[in-house]
Structure 1
Amino acid sequence: MRFNYIFFAVLIAVVQNLQGQSKIKCDLIEISSIAFDKSPNIKRNYYAIQNAEGELQVQWSTFDFNLNSGLSYQNSRLNLYDDDPRNQYIERSLKSNNVDFSAALQKRFRTSQIAEVSLRYLYNDSNFPLNTFNQFVGQFYGNHTGVINLSLTQPLLRGRGKKIATTGEQVANLYIDKNKFDYEFTNSYEILQIGIAYWTYYTAFKSLDVYIENENRVRNVLEITKELIKADKKPESDMAQVNADLTNQERLTFTARQNLYNARLNLGRAIGLSDQESEQLGDPTSDFPMVDQSGYKENIDKKAFIKSAKDNRADLKAIQKVTEAVELQYQLAQNNLKPQLDLTGFGYYGSTSVGNGVDKTFSSFTHNQGQDVGIGAKLTFSFALNNNLAKGNYEINKIAVKDQAVISDNTQRNVDLNVNVALNNLNNSVLILEKAKESMGFHKEAFDNEKIKFQMGLTTLLNLMLFQERFTYSELEYLNAEQQFSNAIISLRHETGTLISKESLNFKVLQNAFYTVPNTEN
């Protein structure tokens, strides 16, 4: 029996230990760090960065080396007319073979020029035994021709200049920066939501304690009432009132447990946890911030916080990047209104060789006979007479610039307003917290006094229950005031862009972000 007892005791200890290990420690900094890996919104914004980097690679393709090549072979047979003089050399049918190979390497430079190197090789033979000089060479005697060409094209109007040629690349880089700033702002917003959800969870956790304590106070009143009834100091009917109050307090305790459970799951939702993971969240361990340790000061300089928001908020930086990108696209649209006028300089070298054999193929590029060398230049002009495509794109981009200016101004306006609101909430939350603490102290004192008076038979049960309810309500109001102050701090942190810090794309929550007001003096 003793052995079995020891065995079950050890087993229970092991199970409890495993259950404890499976719990997720509910510390504000730790759960915020988990969100960087778990939050779907954070993941999606990170993918947006990778998508923008892919778009940059697409724009790089404009300046890739492009290799074009072709190879064709043709075998033909021509039946000659009766009067064709070639009939004396061949039997009524002219048979020929032709091979045509070409290859070109083209490169567009970021300075807007286009360079091209091309090579062409031609081979033909036939059963006609005479060559072009009426010399007898025999049937199917090959003719080889090789040509190398080098050209450089300079746009003179449309597409001229490095700034225009690299517009797509510049815009793609700006959108990469924009998405990185969006990623940073999303992280800050998600941490804000986690902070609010945590303080809701912590308030629900502490509220449950208040309801349990209040339920115990009612039970204590019940015991006091029983004693007073026994001593004939209170009527038996008072028991019904106390029992009714106790039943109601038990109902409120059950509701508080339900609210706590819901708050835990909502916190898990904000972090990005699954249903099972959310249920593994442990009791909250991070306490409410304290006013005297938060760095809060009266008469806070609003302008300093607005300046901090302008310097730190990632969404403002993202909008600035979009503004720059839209302006670049507008400049490109202006450039595309111009006609296409290109100046091309070129040089070529070629020669021919005759005869069969592989050596004749390569000697066609070096053979002195039939050697042809030349240089030249050409102007190419093209312009759509109505030019509706360019005009339409120009109007679209012109409106986009104006629209982006409205977006930028409106965002800045809302940032100023949000900082103002966050500061006002912080100031009021401090005042509310102070008054809630005073009120709770007075209500506790009043309830304690009323309880003594009740024991002495100097007051009614109804008055005692009323003072007890007021004291419980003041405790809950104090918790709500602490939650409001905590939310005000992180809201101000988010609005001023000081909630998180970053190193490259790795983010972390500042250790004092949930507990201190942003320092605008640095």
Structure 2
Amino acid sequence: MRAYYFFFTILIGAFTSIYSQSKIKCDLIEISSIAFNKNPNIISTYYAVQNAEAGVQVQAGTFDYNLNSGLSYQRSRYNLYDADPRNEFIDSPLKSNSVDFSANLLKRFRTSQIAEVSLRYLYKDSNFPFNNFNEFVGPFYGNHTGVVNFSLTQPLLRGRGKRIATTGERISNLYIDKNKNEYEFTNSYEILQIGLAYWSYYTAFKSLDVYIQNEARVRNLLEMTNELVKADKKPQGDLAQINADLTNQERLTVVARQNLYNARLNLGRAIGLSEQESQQLDDPVNDFPAVAQSGYKQNSNKEPFLKAAIENRGDLKAVKKVTEAIELQYQLAENNLKPQLDLTGFVYYGSTSNGNGIDKTLSSFVNNQGQDVGGGAKLTFSFPLNNNIAKGNYSISKIAVKDQEVIANNTQRNIELNINIALNNLSNSVLILEKAKESMMFYQQAFNNEQEKFQIGLTTLFNLMQFQERFTYSELEYLNAEQQFSNAIISLRHETGTLLSKEKQDLSVLQNAFYTVPNIEN
């Protein structure tokens, strides 16, 4: 029997250990750290950064070396006319073979020039036994030709200059910065949502405790009234009223448990947890911030907070990067209105050789006889007469610049409004919290006094129950006031861009971000 109890104790201990390990500690810093890896919005925005980095690689491909090559082999049979003098030397048809190989390497520079090196080799033979100089060489005697060419093209109008040639790369780099800034802002916004959800969860957790205590007070009142009824100091009818109130309080406790359940799952939703993971969230461990330790000051000047927002907010930085990118696109569209006028300089070297064998193939590039060396320049001009594509893109880009200016101004305007609202909410939440605390203390004192008066018969049960409800209501209002103050702190942090700290490339959440007002005033 002892062995059975020992085994049962070990089993219970093991289950308890597994259960405790499966719980997720509900600490603000820990759940925020989980969100960096679990929150779908944060992950999606991070992928947007990687996508923008791939876009830069695509634009850099404009300046890649491009190697093109081709190889062709042709065999033909040509039936000669009866009057063709070549019939005297060959039996019709005229048979020929040819091999044509070409390769070119092209490079576009960031300074807008285009360089090209090309190579061509051509081999041809036939069964006609005479060469081009009417010398008898025999049938299928090969002719080899090799040519090397180098050219350099300079755009004179459209596409001229490093500023235009690298526009695509610069735009893509700006969109990388834009997405990184949006990633920071998304992180801040999601941590804000986690903070708001946590304080709702903590309020629901503490509210349940208030309802449980209130239910216990009603039970105590029921026991006390039972004693007074037995002593003929209170009528039997008071018990029915208290039982009705107790039933109602039990109902409110059930509602509070439901609210706590909902708040826990909503917190898990904000973190990025599944339903099963959200159920594993433990009781909240972080208490509400205190006004005295928060660094709150009355009549704070909004200008330092606005300055901090301009310096720190990722969404505002992102808008500025998009503005720069759109202005670059406008400059490119303006340049594309110009005609295409390119100046190309080139030099070439070629040579020929006759005969069969691999040595003849190679000597076609260095053979002294038949050498052909030269150079020159050419000017090419291209311009669509209506030019509707360029004109349309220019109009679109011009409108986009004006539209982006509206977006930037609107973002700035909303930030100013939000900071004003956040500061006002913070100031009012402090006043509300102070009044709620005073009200709760007075109602608690009044309820205690009313209890003593009820015991000695100086007040009615109805009055005592009213004071009890008012005390319970004041406790709940105090909790709501603490939640409102806590929300006001993190909201101001988010609006000023000071909710997260950035070390190198990593974002992190500081504990005091949930408990202190940003210390940025001059």
* Shorter-chain TM-score range: over 0.9
SS in 2 for 1:118: strand
Q: Which amino acid is 1:232 matched to? A: D
In structure 2, how many angstroms separate the alpha carbons of the residues matched to 1:16 and 1:425? 44
Alpha-carbon distance between aligned partners in 1 of 2:8 and 2:134, rounded to the nearest angstrom: 115
Q: What are the residue-to-residue correspondences of 1:70-149 with 2, within 5 Å?
A: 70-149=70-149
Query: Does the 8 Å CA contact 2:301/2:521 hold for their aligned counterparts?
Result: no
Alignment-derived partner of residue 322 in structure 1? 322
Q: How does 1:78-477 map to 2 (within 5 A)?
A: 78-477=78-477
Distance across 1 between alignment mates of 2:492 and 2:159? 48
**Residues of 2 paired with 1:85 and 1:266: CA distance?**
98
- Which amino acid is 2:396 matched to? I
Partner Cα distance (1:163, 1:191) in 2:
40
Conserved in 1, the CA contact under 8 Å of 2:45 and 2:179?
A: yes
Please identify, of 489-498 and 224-233, the stretch whose mean Cα deviation from structure 2 is larger: 224-233
Deviation at 1:17, TM superposition (A): 1.7
Corresponding letter in the other structure for 2:347 = G
* Letter in structure 2 aligned against 1:140: F
Aligned residue for 1:146, secondary structure, equals: strand
Q: How many residues align?
A: 522
Distance between the aligned counterparts of 1:468 and 1:9, measured in 2? Answer: 44
Q: What is the deviation of 1:94? A: 1.2
In structure 2, distance between residues paired with 1:196 and 1:141: 89
Secondary structure of the 2:345 match is strand
* In structure 1, distance between residues paired with 2:268 and 2:74: 73
Task: Give the distance between the partners of 1:133 and 1:384, measured in 2 at CA.
Answer: 48
* Whole-angstrom CA distance in 2 between matches of 1:29 and 1:480: 22
Q: Deviations over 1:423-448 (max 9, x none)?
A: 00000000000000000000000000
2:65 maps to amino acid? F
Q: Which residue of 2 aligns with 1:62?
A: 62
Residues in 2 aligned to 1:126 and 1:449: alpha-carbon distance in whole angstroms: 125
Structure 2: distance between partners of 1:92 and 1:18: 96
Displacement of 1:506: 1.9
> Does the CA contact (< 8 Å) of 2:150 and 2:347 recur in 1?
yes
**Aligned counterparts of 1:255 and 1:86: Cα–Cα separation in 2:** 110
Q: Which runs of 4+ in 1 moved over 4 A?
A: none
- String of CA shifts for 1:452-499, please: whole Å, max 9, x gaps: 000010000000000000000000000000000000000000000000
Q: Which amino acid aligns with 1:149?
A: N
Q: Any idea what SS the aligned residue of 2:511 has?
A: coil
Contact 2:493 2:513 in 1 (8 A): yes
Distance (whole Å) between structure 2 residues aligned to residue 375 and residue 504 of structure 1? 55
Q: How far apart are the structure 2 equivalents of 1:101 and 1:18?
A: 73
Deviates more, 1:131-140 or 1:109-118: 131-140
**Match for residue 50 of structure 1?**
50
CA distance in 1, matches of 2:42, 2:54: 19
Whether the 8 Å CA contact 2:201–2:264 is kept in 1: the answer is: yes
How many angstroms apart in 2 are the aligned matches of 1:521 and 1:220?
A: 52
**Could you tell me which residue of structure 1 aligns to residue 487 of structure 2?**
487
Contact kept? 2:115, 2:151, Cα under 8 Å = yes
Q: Residue 105 of structure 2 aligns to which amino acid in structure 1?
A: L
1-structure distance, mates of 2:496, 2:424: 14
Deviation per CA, 1:136-165, whole angstroms, max 9, x where unpaired? Answer: 111111100000000000000000000100
Q: Which amino acid aligns with 2:156?
A: L
Q: Deviations over 1:52-94 (max 9, x none)?
A: 1111111111001001111111111111111111111111321
Distance in 2 of aligned mates of 1:385 and 1:18 = 79
Q: Which runs of 5+ in 2 are unaligned?
A: none
For structure 1, which runs of at least 5 residues remain unmatched after alignment?
none
Shift of 1:15: 1.1
- Quote how far apart the aligned CAs of 1:6 are: 2.4
State the AA in 2 paired with 1:36: F
Residue 138 of structure 1 aligns with an amino acid whose one-letter code is G
The letter for the 2-side match of 1:268 is G
Cα offsets for 1:294-332 (capped at 9, x unmatched): 000111111110111011001000000000000000000
For 1:62, the aligned partner's letter is T
1:519 to 2:481 alignment: no
| Amino acid in the other structure paired with 1:249 | Q
Equivalents in 1 of 2:320, 2:382: separation in Å?
36
Q: What is the root-mean-square deviation in Å for CA atoms of aligned residues?
A: 0.8
SS of 1:293's equivalent in the other structure is coil
Contact 2:305 2:521 in 1 (8 A): no
Q: Shift of the alpha carbon at 1:100?
A: 0.7
Q: Secondary structure of 2:519's match?
A: coil
Deviation at 1:232, TM superposition (A): 1.1
Q: Distance in 1 between matches of 2:250 and 2:503?
A: 51
How big is the shift at 1:504?
3.9
In structure 2, what residue type is equivalent to 1:485? F
What's the CA shift for 1:521? 3.6
- Partner-residue secondary structure (3-state), 1:74: strand
AA matched with 2:75: N
Counterpart-to-counterpart distance in 1, 2:121 and 2:15: 83
SS state of the match for residue 519, structure 1?
A: coil
Whole-Å separation in 2 of the counterparts to 1:213 and 1:359:
105
Question: What amino acid maps onto 1:105 in structure 2?
Answer: L
Q: Which residue identity does 2:74 align to in structure 1?
A: Q
Deviations 1:205-264 (A, max 9, x none): 000000000000001111111111111111000000000000000100011011101100
Q: CA deviation at 1:505?
A: 3.6
Which secondary structure does the structure 2 equivalent of 1:291 belong to? coil
| Deviations 1:352-389, CA, capped at 9 Å, x for gaps | 00000011001000000110100100000000000000
Contact 2:436 2:478 in 1 (8 A): yes
Deviations 1:13-69 (CA, angstroms, capped at 9, x unpaired)? 221121111110000111001000000000000110111111111111100100111
Output the CA distance in 2 between the equivalents of 1:60 and 1:362: 37
The Cα shift of 1:520 comes to 0.6
